[in-house]
Every structure is written in C-alpha cells, then in structure tokens.
Structure 1
Amino acid sequence: MAYIPEEKIQDIKDQLDIVNIISDYIELKPSGQNYIGLCPFHNEKTPSFTVSRSKGIFHCFGCGVGGDAITFIMKKENMNYVEAIHFLADKLGIFLDTGNVDKELYEHRKTLLRINEEAKYYFFQQLLTYQLPKEYLSNRGLDKSVVNKFMLGYAPDGFDNLLNYFKGKNVKTEDLLELGLIKKSANGHLYDAYRNRLIFPITNNRKEVIGFGGRTLVDDRAKYINSPESIVYHKSKNLYGVTNFNSISKKDKVVIVEGYVDVISLYNYGIDYCVASLGTALTKEQAKLISRYTKNIYLCYDGDSAGQSATQRAIEIFKEIDIQANVIELPEQLDPDDYIKKYGKESFETLITNSLNSILYNYTKLLKNYDLDDINSKTEFLNELVKMLNEIDNKLIQDEYLIRFSKDLDINIDSIKSELSKQKSYSKTPVKDTPKVNRVNNNKLIFLESIKYYLFNNDIEFRSKILNSGNFLEEETEYFTPTIIFIEENGLTIDTTLDDIKELDGNSNIKKIIETTLKTQNRDYYNNKENAIRFLNSLKRHVLIMERDKLKEQLILLQENEELSESLKKSYTDLANEIFKINSLLKSI
C-alpha cells in the first residue's frame, strides 16, 4: 500500500463528518451540541457514547474508548491506520493508491468493483441453473448454506457466455480484460477466461469482490486459474475467507490452509476460523493482516513436500513479526479437506490441540532426518540442533528447550551449552522493522532521554522509576526494557565506545538506540543525579498534564449534552474529581 502524504491525510480529515461516519453503525440522537447513542464496543442499555461533530471526536463514558473518525473505523472494522484512511477516502470518493488524490482512478476502481460484483451474481446464477456444479458440490457434501455463505458460482462451457452477458450492460471490453474476466487471443478474438469451472469470489475485508478463483470441473490442463493483479486485486496482500474474520477474532485463533476448497470444507464441518493464503507462499502482508485478529496461528498445509516448504516459510514469516506459529501435522499425506471428511470435526480439533509450536515442529523434523545411533549422523544432528537453539532470542525460552532436549536425547546439557557458545557468532538475530522511536515526536525525545540518564548514571533504580512514571512511551515501550537489559547484560557504561557496541551480538535496532545515546555531546549533564531527578519530575508532570487534558476533553463533551442520565452524571462527577486530584499532584511536584 503506497505511502500517503500527511497533507492528503489532513485533506481527508477536513472533509470527514464524524457523525455521518458513526451513524452508519449506530443510531445517534442529538443532545445539545453533541450526539449520543449506545456504544458499539460494549453492551449497554443506557446511552453513554457521545459524539462531537465540531471537535470531530467520540468518547464512551461506559468503557472509556474514544478518538476521531479514523480511530472509530480502525476499531470497528479491525483495520490498521493506513487501511482506515483508504476506507474513509473511499467513502469520500478519493483514490489514494498513487499517493495522490485521483478522482479519475477512484472512479475507475469503483467501476471495476461494480463489474466484479455483477460477475459474482452472474456466476452464482449459473450455479443454480446447471446440473454439473450442483452434482460436484453435492458429491463433496457441501451444504447449501455454505455455498450461499461463500457465494460460489459456475462458469459454463462456451467461449463467450460472460462476454455476451456484459455486452448489454454498457461495460467496456478494456475493463473486462483488465480484470481477467475475458482474454484476447493472438489473432484478436475475445473469449471468456473462465469456462467449465467452479468459481470462488475473493473479497477483501471491506466485503468488496476483488477477484476470482476458478477450479476446473472437467479434464483441463490447469486445475485452478485466478484473477491477474489489478488496481483492485493484489494477491500478496489479500486472503481467501476474510468473511471468517469475525469468528477468528471471537475464537482468538486461526487455521491457515492452502486453498479455497480447504476453507470451505472446514467451514462446512463447523471449523469457521480458517483462511487461505491464495497459494502456498504466505506473504508478510498477509501475516500482518491475520495477526490483527489473533496471535494464535495454526498452519495446516498439505503433507507433501510443497506443503512442508510452505510451512517452513510461513513459520519464518510469522517469526519476522514476533509471532510463533503452531503446526498441524496431517497424517497419511492428506490435505485438510480430505482429513475432515474422513475423520470429522472432533478429530480435526484434536489435531489443533496436539499441534506443535514451530520450535518443537522443527525439532521433530530434525529427529526424523538423522540416525542418532550413527556417530557421524548424530554429530550433524547436534550441529543443526544448536543452530536452531541459537535462533531463539529469548534466553529464558532457550534455557527451557535446552533442558527439555538434553533430557530427551540423554545428552549433558553443558555440552550443548558449550556448542551454543561456539556458534554464537553465527547465530541469526531477526531484524525487526525500523523501530517506532525513529519518529520525530515527544515520545522519541523522552525515550532517548530516559536511556541517556540510565546509561550515564548506571542506576538500576532509575529503570523502575521511569517505568512507574506512567505509560508515557506508548508504542516505544517495547524497546525500553530490551534496551535496558542489553545495557545490563553487556555491562555498558558512560565509557563504552561506539566500536565496543558494534562488536557485540544483539538486535541491530537496540544497538542503534544505544549508539545514539553515546553520541551525546554534553555527557556531564546526563551523568548528574540532580539532573536525573529533575528529568523524572518533568516526566511525571508531562504524563499528568496529558492525562488531565484527556479528562478535560471528556468533561467538555458531557457539558455540551442537553440531558445527562444518572450514569453520565456520575461520570461527570468522577471526571471532575480526577481532574482535581491531578491538579493537586501537579502542585506537589
């Protein structure tokens, strides 16, 4: 997804009407200068959800959630920031994929989506008409409700059925070609791309039809064909089965499979928390999309060599975003569709329960590949095992597996530790995305100031004082403790040089953070307890003022309402008391 310039985001914000946006989801009633309704984020009988059109904000005095229109869409639609911006831009008629406001491209995209939607209903109607696809689905034991849920369709035999259907719909041939619904032969003849195929519409998390997959129902060279890349369809960024996201979020787990049929077949048996990666190669964008709904990942690819390779790649992809995937191993080289039809839902759920995390999965794979009774094979095995252990960043987790594997293999734990130390220089340290502390804002400055004072004072008590000062670091918090631990484990002080840092093993981003602090010019200022205390006091004031301003904003929202229920009156009193307490604390610092 292209970078969106800040001025374009501001253009969108300026055009948004938060009342209209939220009214698409809940009923809002006027209340003085504001609007009020039942909160969509928690169950309540008395309205405590307040929206201010003039300020462009909302706040629920029941559950505490609040923010602007972008925040609302992020929470309600389970989107990240950039996706929410695109979602709202779409409502305003703004196309942003180029990084520019482009009305022409926006209209073209909407046209393509309308064509896909029309094609979906056309294919669905053909499925209801022809006997061949109905027999195929019946033989697979698929319930009609499942067919309707996924809007399965059928492309009948013939070279111009869909082409003729769209001729009477004022649709441009160029648009059908761009979407891959029709093709052009070498001599210029147009023909339907999908023929004698079961059709799987692919939707995004906005419920828009962005592409199609087609499975042959006759003896065809290509078992599956899929939509080409276009401005509406990007294979690497989308998944099949996004209609299951609500269930995935509620059940807090997801099973990732290879294909359309696996998702549908598992759903047919009540496993309604599956998605397919539109091919065997899971991408980082797909992994990030899934991780917004759950961190409990279960990989269930086919048992053949291609499936095993896909499993290993998926493990690495999730590892890059700090998630340890679990692996479901299917027996007898079955795929998920075959397995659940043969053994049923209960047995499949047992497979999920008995799944292995990625470390144990790779360990069992190693065991299968080596003969531990042969000295040379066992030596090779131990080398591979040590490499695998060195890839575990967390020392505590690494120690747990060291103990487990040494007992399992009846090998002295010190021998494995010795090999770990020897191979340490070759260990793989995952490189994370550029840390969020690189953003130029107050939190970045506070973060770096905190590390400077800690490093130059070498005071362990300072760490707890900083962390007890409040959640001032927000998203940067994840880097504070690992940086402190790195300093402690390596005995870093004010006298540490940049060359010393470069020679150390560890996360490259954390090393950059420490290098930044060591480049400080006025070292004596930071190596001073009185200055450190003053910094802590200013930090406390910073946190308290931010909290007070947030409470004041909520108080004003309530003041603008014409009538307050008893619960909102209590919220008003509680807010006023909290503000009074904060003011008292500020005076004492």
Structure 2
Amino acid sequence: MDDNMGFIPQDKIDEIKSVADIVSVIGDYVDLKRAGSNYVGLCPFHNEKTPSFSVSPQKGIFHCFGCGVGGDVISFIMQKEGLSYPEAIKFLADKLGILVETNEVNKEKYEHRKKLYEINNEAKLFFYKNLLINDVPKEYIKKRDLTNSMINKFIIGYADGKNSLYRHLLQKGYQKDDIIEVGLVNQDESGNLYDKFRNRLMFPILDIRGNIIGFGGRTLVDARAKYMNSPQSLAYDKSKNVYGVSNLKNSTKVGKIILVEGYMDVISLTNYGFDFAIASLGTSLTHDQAKLIKRYCKNIYICYDGDSAGQNATSRAIEVFKEQDISPNIIVIPDNMDPDDYIKKYGKDSFNRLIDNAMDSVIYEYKKILQKYDINDVREKIQLIDDLTTLLSKLDRAVIRDEYIKRFSNDLNLDDSSLKKDVYNKLNENKSRNSVINEDIVNSQTDDKESINNQEKITAIEIMTISCFHRNKYVELKEEFSKFNTTISSYNNFMDFVDIYYSKNDTKEIDEKTARKYFKNDIQMDKTIDYLFQKSKNSININNIDKIILEIKKYLILQEKDNIKSKLDLMQSVEFNDKINKEYKDILNQILEINRQIKDYK
C-alpha cells in the first residue's frame, strides 16, 4: 500500500464493496446484457467480437473466459483505471460519495464535505427546535395530520422569516462562504445575506449513510415557489439520492418499494404503515436513482399523482427502470388525487386494494393510449393502432409481445394477425433505424457515453445522412440542425466537414472520395463514412424525408425543453423566474404542434 495514501480501515473497505453494485460500476465501461443470473459483454481488457466477459452480481465478481482476467469490483477499477489498491478504493468512494479517511492530497475535499454536512446537521436541529416553539406551522401540521412520531422520524422542522438561521450558524462558528456554498443562505447583488428558506416547513434529506445532504422546504405562505430545494453542491447531488432512505432500507425486508412524487406522500404513506415509500428528488427519476433503488429492491410500484404531469412522469420512470431490467407496477389513483390526499380520505385498506390492483407497465401505457382517442372515430382509431403498435414493438420477448397482441386485439375488436403484422413491421423498421448503433459509429465516438441515448444516436445519423445526400435540405435546415447539441464527436467532425465541403463545391451531395481523403488519418471516421455511403444512403429517400425531418425537429425541441426545465429547477433554488417559465410553456406548445404535424403527415 502506498505510504502517501494512508491506512484505510477494513470496515470502510467493506462498506464500499457493499454499496458498489458491481454491475453498475462495470456497466459504466462495458455494455452488459443479462444472461440468466449473470451479465455478459465484450471484454474491456482484450479485443474480441464474441462476448466472453461475465459479471456475477450475486458473487460480486467478474471473469473473462477469453483472457482469464477476473476479480471483484475493486480489482476491476485497479486494472481498468491503472490504479493501486488504495487508489481504487478512493476512486470508488469518491464515485459513491463515501468519505475515506486517508492522508492523501485530496483529504481537503473530504474534510470540506464533512464541514458542509456539519452545517446541514446544525441547520436540521435548528429547524426542528423552531418547529416546536412556533405557532405558525401548527395549523399546517394539523391540516396534514402530521403526528409527533412522523415529525420525529423524518426530523421535520420550520424555517421562520427572520433570517435567524444565518445568525445562528455564524454564532456556532461556521464560515459565511461555507454557509452560502451549502445553499442555506443567499446573497443579493448588493451583498446582503438572507436565509434561503423562509416561512417554510423543512424536510431534511439524508443519504444512505445518514448524512444530512440537503433540504426541501414547503411554503406556509403565498409564495411563488411552492417547494424549494437545496442547490447542487459538494454535499448534495439530487440525481443520486432519494427521499426516505430509512424506508429504502426497509424495502429489503418488505420486498417492495413504492415510488412517489413528494415528501408528504412518503410521510403520509409511512404514517399509515406503508414504511417502504420513497420519493425521487427533482422533477423526474434519474438513472442513478434507479440504480440505487435496484440495489435494495426490484419489486417497484410507481405511485405518482393522477394528473397529466404525474402520468408523463410515470411513463418516463417506466423507461428508466426498464434500462435497469426492471418492469415496474403502476398504482393508479382515481380522480387525479395524490397518494397523500387519497390515503387520508379512504384509509389504509383502500390503498392496499390499489396496490393489489396495480397494473403492469404495458397495461398502464395501453390504458393511456385508450384515453387519448375516440375509438368510434375511424381516423382516431388508426392513430390509436399506430400508438399501440409502437408500444408493442418495444417489448423484448416475442412470447410476451404476442400475448399482449391477442389481448388488445380482443379488446378493440381487431384481427390479431393484422395487428401482429403491423407490430413486426415496426420491429423491422426499428432494427433498420437502430442498426447504426451496432456499427460503432457513435458508440466509440462520444465524450460522455453515459449521457448518450439511442434516440440521440439515431438523430445524429439521420442529420448526417440528410446533409450528405440532400444538399438542398441541408441548406434549408442548417440553422435547425445547429440546435442539435451532442458530444458524439463523429457527428461533430462530419458536420464541420459538410460545412467546408458545400462552401467549396456546387454539387447535390458529398463525394465519397473527398470525404475519405479529408478523414484519411481517422480510423473511426472511416467507419462512419462506410456506414453513410454503404447503408444509410438508401435509408432516407425523397418520399419519407419530410417525416424524418419532423422527427428530428421534435427531438431538437424536446432537447431544448429539457434544457429549459433544468434552468427552471435551478431558478427554483433562488426565486421562480417568469421569463424561463414562459419559455418552457412555449416549448410545450411547440411539442404539441409538431406532434400534430407528425400525426397528420401523409
């Protein structure tokens, strides 16, 4: 062990191993696919075309039957990152947010994070005491049926409107800059400091190790932002944590998890005995949150609000869980109610019946499609069948797909062979569009593999293909295409070349020899050019190009929507910003319009 790394206690090493899901860790480097109880992929330590690299989540080990390399999660990081044993432990600890006491140079970072945790813990105690001595929150507590046991379990507190927390923390000896960094105090343009959370019921957020990493605050007055949350910081990463970690740990014993939207939903369900409810932090479930939840339990029940926003969030969560090989169940709450309101009105037994009647994710999406259309209108029924075909084509196993085809055909009085034909045609179409992903064109050409999804890869190849073989469309849509922000370097390199080529040549499409000469020293770009000229050239013809352009525009608008939503989330940590909110609403209207154009496309 390196002397400058210091001694790492065995219990800390054991903690890291227990928290580090070997499939998730190795999955950041290798495209793993389930094979029975194990996962397989192409070995990252030697070149191979047939997967011989196996990971066993039960045993916590990996092994390559081709080159013989193997070991546990720490030895994988050692070999992949070229680190010593203690360096690999530190690498994993940093990734997982675990503090490792060593004498390394980066100890300052750990000490600073500890200080931020201390400040948050002191704020938690301050808010809790405030709740006990103030009359202001008592009316809300009574209205929401918050019992003393729930207040104590979740350490609920109260932030008054007197900027008293900042003065308290200064008196405790904490530094101004640290208090600002952790997000408990804001500073205006004149340099004045004030408590971020004022006149709010406070919900401390814990990580899986019990550190207070941040807060959520629910207004008790007529504030523009109903909820405010701690900003991202060294102490708090909302994308990797969930609310209700004690319930997350309970789920291991109970064998199920209920995923809800808000703090009060978690608390109310726990109060009624459902102490395995948790909430994602932020607007929607993230991939890291799904990975964290999966470590504890794979029997997931999504129970979001019944309104349209809740339904959309449910569909997104279904997709995120599917990427973790989890098929969640969906608890549908009637009358657009949220779990908190429903359980208070109808009680524990009624909510248990909702759990018993939970739908699988396919039936849930099917019901959503039925709500969208009038089945007695011929045109709308055609649109319904199109949506249904898309849904069924996403199912991996043929036997399950065919069972749903029979069921839905019977429901809708359709010929099941006709629906089956449509579904399998859609599957072949998807294979054609997705074939680019198997060609290493974009997989090995991304700066941030974790952030690239399949639709982004498809959009990249479609824009490249249109630009390469349809100059008039490229010129017409050049400004639109420039809105596509991606870290796929093959795309960025090729589009730079396209711009240069058309500025010098008056041809209808790009000459293959010129493209190869331009990229003659780049092997990866050679693969891209192979695909464009040998396969992709014939995938986009003049008859279907307009629909593909609509799909591209839709993706670009969705990408812009996500960027604006991120701005909104950040603005809510200070004050709600009307300008950003208007931009977001305008984007939603654009999405509705382009969906209409796609549906009307002939």
TM over 0.5: yes
Question: Deviations along 1:378-436, whole A, 9 cap, x unmatched?
Answer: 2222222111111111111111112222222232221112212332333377989x9xx
Partner residue of 1:16? 8
Pair 1:386 & 2:389 matched:
yes
Match of 1:173 among 172, 176, 200: 176
C-alpha distance 391-11 of structure 1, shift in aligned 2 (>3 A): farther
Normalising by structure 2, report the TM-score: 0.58
Supply the distance in 2 between the matched residues of 1:183 and 1:296 (Cα, whole angstroms).
41
| Cα gap change, 1:93 to 1:126, in 2 (>3 Å) | farther
Aligned residues of 1:210 and 1:232 also touching (Cα < 8 A): yes
Aligned counterpart, 1:92: 101
- Any idea what SS the aligned residue of 1:157 has? coil
SS of 1:318 mapped into structure 2: helix
Residue in 1 that maps onto 2:399? 396
Q: CA deviation at 1:333?
A: 1.0
**Preserved CA contact (<8 Å) 2:402 2:420:** no
Per the alignment, do residues 125 and 65 of structure 1 end up closer, same or farther by CA in structure 2, a change over 3 Å counting? same
Task: Tell me the secondary structure at the aligned position of residue 136 of structure 2.
Answer: helix
User: Secondary structure of 1:131's partner?
Assistant: coil
Query: Structure 1: which amino acid aligns with 2:180?
Result: L
How far apart, CA to CA, are the structure 1 residues paired with 2:121 and 2:188?
25
**Does the Cα contact within 8 Å between 1:329 and 1:351 map onto a contact in 2?**
yes
Distance 1:141 1:331 in 2: 21
Three-state SS of the structure 1 residue aligned to 2:222 is coil
Instruction: Work out the CA distance in 1 between the residues paired with 2:4 and 2:254.
Output: 38
Could you tell me which amino acid in structure 2 is paired with residue 274 of structure 1? A
Question: Of the candidates 175, 200, 203, which is equivalent to residue 200 of structure 1?
Answer: 203
- Compare CA radii of gyration and give the structure with the larger one: 1
| Structure 2 Cα separation of the partners of residues 233 and 417 of structure 1 | 48
In the alignment, structure 1 segments of 5+ residues that lack a partner are: 1-6, 24-62, 72-79, 96-100, 439-497, 505-589
d(CA) in 2 for partners of 1:144, 1:166: 26
Match of 1:528 in 2: none
Out of 208, 212, 230, the position equivalent to 1:227 is: 230
Partner Cα separation in structure 2 for residue 207 and residue 351 of structure 1 = 32
Shift of 1:149: 0.6
Instruction: After superposition, give the CA deviation of every residue in 1:45-88 in whole Å (9 maximum; x if it has no partner).
Output: xxxxxxxxxxxxxxxxxx999999979xxxxxxxx997657679
Q: Does 1:330 align with 2:333?
A: yes
Could you tell me how far 1:365 is from its partner in structure 2?
1.3
Structure-to-structure mapping, 1:97-176, within 5 angstroms: 102-158=106-162, 160-176=163-179
Give the equivalent residue in structure 1 for 2:493: none
State the alpha-carbon separation in 2 of the partners of residues 84 and 293 from structure 1.
19
Give deviations 1:346-384, integer Å, cap 9, x for gaps: 111111111111110111111222222222222222222
**Contact residue 93 and residue 100 of structure 2 kept, 8 A:** no
The CA deviation at 1:279 is 2.6
Structural mapping, 1:180-219, within 5 Å: 180-219=183-222
| Residues 372 and 68 of structure 1: CA distance in aligned 2, closer, same or farther (over 3 Å) | closer
Q: Which residue of 2 aligns with 1:425?
A: 428
Q: 1:211 to 1:93 in 2, by over 3 A?
A: farther
| Bigger mean CA deviation after superposition, 83-92 or 327-336 | 83-92
Aligned counterparts of 1:94 and 1:238: Cα–Cα separation in 2: 28
Residue 209 of structure 1: how far off its partner (Å): 0.4
CA distance in 2 between counterparts of 1:219 and 1:19 reads: 49
Residue 212 of structure 2 aligns with an amino acid whose one-letter code is: V
The residue that corresponds to 1:377 in the other structure is: 380
| Structure 2 match to 1:412 | 415
**Aligned counterparts of 1:162 and 1:112: Cα–Cα separation in 2:** 15
Larger relative contact order (C-alpha < 8 A, sep ≥ 6)? 1
Aligned-partner Cα distance in 2 for 1:184–1:270: 42
Q: What is the identity percentage for the equivalent residue pairs of Structure 1 and Structure 2?
A: 47
- The TM-score, its normalising length taken from structure 1, stands at 0.59
Shift of 1:157: 2.2
Separation in structure 1 between the aligned mates of residue 142 and residue 296 of structure 2, nearest angstrom? 33
Q: What stretches of structure 2 of length at least 5 have no aligned partner? A: 16-57, 62-70, 76-88, 445-529, 537-602
SS in 1 for 2:203: strand
2:90 & 2:305 partners in 1: Cα distance? 34
Across the aligned residues of Structure 1 and Structure 2, the Cα RMSD in angstroms comes to 3.4
**Paired residues, number:** 379
Query: What is the SS of the residue equivalent to 2:174?
Result: coil
SS in 2 for 1:287: helix
